Structure 1
Amino acid sequence: MAIAIVLINTDIGKEVDVFERLKQIPEVKEVYITYGTFDIVAKLEAPTLAKLNEAITRNIRNMPGVRSTLTLIGVEGKHFQR
């Protein structure tokens, strides 16, 4: 399973619009509107890195209202969750 955390900056006032669109992407498992350097944080999961790449490049980076992204790809086998 490929996992990524995507940090998203939106155009001013577009946070909620982008948040709602992100919820429609099957690979997006969690999404948060945040305060600070980034407007939104999203966790994505996909069966392969190629599918993850497709979701990020085609669906998120081209989304109206998204100004920029920073993607953190999780290292396989190095995950802990309570």
Structure 2
Amino acid sequence: MPLAFVLLNVEPGKEDKVLEELKSIPEIKEAHRVYGVYDTLIKIEADSQEKLKDIITWRIRRIPHVRSTLTMLAIE
């Protein structure tokens, strides 16, 4: 099962709102606010690489107040 970790930059003050929306996506297995260069870290599992790409591109990156993402695909 394809697995990815995604780091997100979020507009200041909107971190909780974005985190709440992320947690509503079934394929997101973990979502955490973090300190540092990025604001949020998520773990995503999907049935296929294509589905994983679609979730990141069409669901996560389209959430209001998400400024940017950095995706790391896990290898087995």
Unaligned runs of 5+ in 2: none
Within-5 A mapping of 1:7-22: 7-22=7-22
What secondary structure is seen at the aligned counterpart in 2 of 1:62? coil
- 2:46 counterpart letter in structure 1: A
Q: Give the root-mean-square deviation of aligned CA atoms.
A: 0.5
Distance 1:59 1:17 in 2: 15
What secondary structure is seen at the aligned counterpart in 2 of 1:67? strand
Residues 25-58 of structure 1 show CA distances to partners (whole Å, capped at 9, x for unaligned) of 0110000001111000000000100000011000
TM-score, scaled to structure 1: 0.90
TM-score, scaled to structure 2: 0.97
Distance 1:67 1:13 in 2: 13
Unaligned runs of 5+ in 1: 78-82
Distance 1:27 1:49 in 2: 12
Counting aligned pairs with the same residue, the percent is 47
Distance 2:62 2:47 in 1: 22
2:40 matched to which residue of 1? Answer: 40
2:3 matched to which residue of 1? Answer: 3
Q: Does 1:52 align with 2:52?
A: yes
**Shift >3 Å, 4+ stretches:** none
